[in-house]
A and B are shown apart, each in its own frame.
Chain A
Amino acid sequence: MTKMQTGTTNKLEIRSILQENYGQVLEDELLDKIANVGSHRIAQPNDILIDMGEYIKTMPLLLRGAIKIIREDKEGHELFLYYLERGDTCAFSLTCCMGNKKSEIKAVVEEEAELILIPMQYMDEWIKEFSSWRNFVFQSYNLRLEEMLSAIDSIAFLNLDERLMKYLIDKVKVTNDTLLSNTHQQIADELNTSRVVVSRLLKQLERQGKILISRNKIEVLNF
């Protein structure tokens, strides 16, 4: 992991942050254990938490912010898959750590993110010990599998203009801001298309009154 700030090391403080975010889902005894072994981190927008081909050694619990999950092919073409938000964990970290495999995705911070990182060795142990942990882990798998299928839907079944609009709306939802500061090039990269095409489609969406384009900003009006 790169460029990450160490957050608080106070176990009591971590315990109370966990209670606030995961108190509904995970039992007290488990939260105590997580507070004990987990480390607290703050990551800034555009930080790369994990890159393709790296080994994942910890499992992240997201407390705040948003993380973008991106697939990359050998030639460096990118494709946006989905966002992780508060209360989520990354199913890829689960499969990778289990099999001690390299990461198949890239995780980039979208909104300043607060995380608890749990060393992988506890995964197995807790699955046997805590039914809430088991539910949480398999629920995460289910959710992510659904997200992947819906990513497939949008590439296979939607036209590029529909995908672009969906991409913008997803981003508005995750950032809680209708004003987006993506460049056209960045959007093109994540949708695996060209800047020229994206600019043309954005123009078209503007004419339809769905968005407003200004210098380095896109305002989403209709979502």
Chain B
Amino acid sequence: MIDPKQQRIQEILSEKFPQFSKELKADIAANADFKMVPGGATLMDIGQFIKVVPLLFDGKIKVLREDEEGNELFLYFLYPGEACAISLVCSGKEKISRIRAIAIEDSEFISFPIKFMDEWMLHHKSWYHFVLETYSYRFEEVLKTVDDIAFHKMDERLLSYLKKSKKAFGNNILNISHQDIACELNSSREVISRLLKKLEQRGQLKIGRGKIELIKLD
């Protein structure tokens, strides 16, 4: 008889990680568990993801860099069908990096012990490709952040931040304060408010109480 949990894992993997081979899906199903993180919770604080590989299949995660003084900087969003390379880095060294990952809505993972990460690279070509692609994709995202902060002005950065948030929240209305945006872009509330006003004057968005309505960002 097939274990119902294993069957469920296999079904989810088939839908969200179609590139995985049949054998890999079976191996994951036999060794994995479900993990749920409620919207608003910080993943690294929960500490669940130090010794496991998390495969996100439902929800969305926001990844931020944090310095010793608590300054932060938005890096990217994680979507279903992805794993976080930085969590792989942390897992590999079993150390906690200065990365903060927050579930922006209720999120669900399939997670399995880190020791399989290496083992399966030998046996499953599709796993090996997935890990390499994850690294290379995150590398590019981090490089884009470098470009953003080094070469782009704050108005361009704000616009790109709003576009990414719109995609992640799947909504034209963002319930986010100017102060939050300022923190995540490592800027000041005054600067962000002024730039948002400018975008409003151009008819690209509408500023409301505790929310921003996006009209036309391109």
Contacts and interface: CB of A to CB of B under 8 A. Distances in A.
Interface of A: 71, 73, 75, 77, 79, 81, 91-92, 94-95, 98-99, 104, 127-128, 131, 134-135, 138, 141-142, 144-146, 148-149, 151-153, 155-157, 192
14 contacts: A71-B143, A71-B150, A75-B151, A79-B150, A81-B146, A91-B139, A99-B136, A145-B86, A149-B65, A149-B98, A152-B149, A156-B67, A157-B67, A157-B71
B56 to A, nearest CB: 19
A152 B147 contact: no
Interface of B: 65, 67, 69, 71, 73, 85-86, 89, 92-93, 97-99, 118, 121-122, 128, 131-132, 135-136, 138-140, 142-143, 145-147, 149-151, 186
Given A95-B139, A104-B140, A157-B67, A79 B146 contact: yes
A98 B128 CA distance: 12
Nearest to B121: A134
Contact of A151 (B93, B136, B146): B146
Contacts of B121: 127, 134
A145 B139 contact: yes
Given A134-B121, A156-B186, A98 B136 contact: yes
A134 B127 CA distance: 13
Contacts of A81: 146
Given A127-B121, A134-B121, A152 B142 contact: yes
A203 to B, nearest CB: 24
Contact of A104 (B131, B135, B143, B149): B143
A75 B85 CA distance: 30
Contacts of B151: 73, 75, 77, 79, 192
Q: Taking each of B89, B97, B151, which has the highest tally of chain A beta carbons within 10 Å of its own beta carbon?
A: B151
Given A146-B89, A152-B73, 14 more contacts: A71-B146, A73-B147, A79-B146, A95-B132, A99-B136, A127-B121, A128-B128, A141-B89, A144-B139, A145-B86, A145-B89, A145-B138, A149-B99, A157-B186
Contacts of A142: 89, 92-93
Contacts of A157: 67, 69, 71, 73, 186
B135 A145 contact: yes
Contact of B139 (A79, A128, A135, A148): A148
Give the one of A73, A92, A138 with max B CB within 10 A: A138
B208 to A, nearest CB: 29
A138 to B, nearest CB: 7
A91 B121 CA distance: 18
A181 B2 CA distance: 69
Contacts of A192: 150-151
A34 to B, nearest CB: 20
